[in-house]
Structure 1
Amino acid sequence: MARTDTPEKTPLSLPVTIICLVFALAPAIALAVMWGSLPEVIPAHWGEAGIDRWGTKMEMVVVPVVGFILSGLLLFGARRAHADDYVSFLSGELSERTVMVVSSIATSLIALGGIIAWIAGALDPTAVANPGDPAALSWQVLGVPAIFLVAGLLMAMRSLNMPENDEVLGEQYHAQRIAGASMVIAGVLMGVLSALILPGTMTQVGQAVIAAIDMAFVFILLRPWL
């Protein structure tokens, strides 16, 4: 059961908060440093035969903005969690605060890796020498990641106002927040891989694998209340 019998709340330490914020800002800093070196027209997706869509460099702003918002929300969840909130998982326990902190940093790292890969692709000499015509962003490959992001955020937000010290619902709400955080990470990972890296049919395969792993984790975590 969740350890909610101690009313005193230990705040998240300042160094951990600063570390999470630094990671959250890292993608924006990386893009800002390289912004002046980027061409106006950049590769926006790579397929089996190479670049299959071009866009403007303003599209790149989406990655650090979305990454910062999601990382910030997860950090907010970590700051609200009690240090002694644990959830049973398999033969052990998961600390809600630890999961939220790790999720915030992981989301930032995925966004940072995505923006670095995108910058490297945009500065490739071949791409710079032969820019194509910018095309509209296709939302088809981002549909499944968007579903995971929205569902994960809704699941986490639903339990933000959980009743304090509720012995019946306490652990269930903590588990829902952890499940929501895992879905956010899965959505970010699928979005970055699908939008920038995975070619053609590999997009669906990659999304299916990530979704299956995350759904298995969520099922095991929430099984006592299903």
Structure 2
Amino acid sequence: MNPKLKKELPLIAIVLIPFIYLAYIWNQLPEKVPMHWNIKGEIDRYGDKIELIIIPILLPLLIYIIFLVIPKIDPKNKLQNMGNKYQNIKTLLTLFMSILALFIIYSIKNRSFTNPNYILLSMGVLYTILGNYFKTIKPNYFIGIRTPWTLENDTVWQETHLLAGKIWFIGGLMVVFSSLILNGQSNLTVFIIITMVIVLIPIIYSYLKFKKIKKTAP
């Protein structure tokens, strides 16, 4: 068997799980199924069950395809410098999206979104895991804090990702904690604020760091 194909088989299986589960429960579903819940966990839109196919397509399948395509269009093959870390990130995000798709389909089948906080809590866990990876990501055009300043200077890239790793890890823990103690709109608001902070601070830092380096350069 082709070594590359053998390496991808577990990921292909992960991608297929939501499709298989959807096929298994298909005949149990009514023609009209819940398609959206509000922040209180109440159903506020129904749709045809054929729309459910979009869920595993847009979540695990699309993410997996994107990660397959990116190395082939990487203009300078910088992703190869990441070694196994690229494969690890691809596995992590594909698995996360597959679990999320399963959770959504399961909730639709049971017409119950028992606790909307579960999705935000899972996002917090994802933030903490990605935070651990940031410090090891090498300069590239596709993954990480890709600003004009990090892409222009390797030192700016490294220091920005060291800072981002810490911020994303702490931010993820804060999201998890808030999901355990807050509900509804309060938890969503906290999640949005934390997400904006952990995204904007590394971007601003990369600009300031780049300007400082340029100013001190001979």
Q: Tell me the TM-score normalized by structure 2.
A: 0.49
Pick the structure with more strand per residue.
1
RCO comparison, higher one (Cα < 8 Å, 6+): 1
The structure in which a higher percent of residues are helix is 2
